[in-house]
Amino acid sequence: MAETVEFSLIGLDSLLGKLEAVSYDVKRKGGRAALRKAAQVIMAKAKEGAERIDDKETGRAISDNIALRWNGRLFRSTGDLGFRIGVLHGAVLKSGGDLSQNAPTPHWRLLEFGTENMAAVPFMRPALADSISEATNTFITEYEKSVDRAIRRALRNGVSA
């Protein structure tokens, strides 16, 4: 059901060389911050796409419910860093049908994947596909900055990172 997207990064020689000089803790902290910034690029694209299909007549907006969350389960089980980008509140609308602003928007799935009676109008999948190179560049730039800061800090304190 869930689609996975895999890609490889090429041209990271300078970053990989610097990573060897930095401790495990600094790698994780800097990597998490850099990954968050890269994920924010994708989240912004998803919000733009959701704003195009949001119904202006109701108070509910899918774009208001798009969120970025740390994937602690992935980190605890594998040690890999990860963030999740998704729509809040799940798929079930509680009785009463709240139409106020920031109310749950379970209908986002119907729009994203379509139904047998309605064609799909995806906004999440294209957000990733269209911004993967920008997100990758953001990650590389931010991670390299954090590693450079860590190296400078270690040299200033006279201790190896």
What pLDDT, on the 0 to 100 scale, is given for residue 149? Answer: 84
User: Which residues, other chains included, contact 148 with Cβ-Cβ below 8 Å and sequence gap of 6+?
Assistant: 18
Q: Could you read off the pLDDT of 63-108 as tens digits, one per residue?
A: 888 999 999 999 999 988 999 998 887 666 666 666 666 677 878 8
C-alpha to C-alpha distance for 124 and 113, rounded to whole angstroms: 10
Q: What is the dihedral of CA 56, 131, 5, 46, to 10 degrees?
A: -10
Please say whether the beta carbons of 146 and 78 come within 8 A. no
**Predicted TM-score of the model (pTM):** 0.76
Please say whether the beta carbons of 111 and 123 come within 8 A. yes
Please report the beta strands in the chain, taking only residues with DSSP state E, as ranges in sequence order.
66-70, 83-87
Helix, coil or strand: residue 66: strand
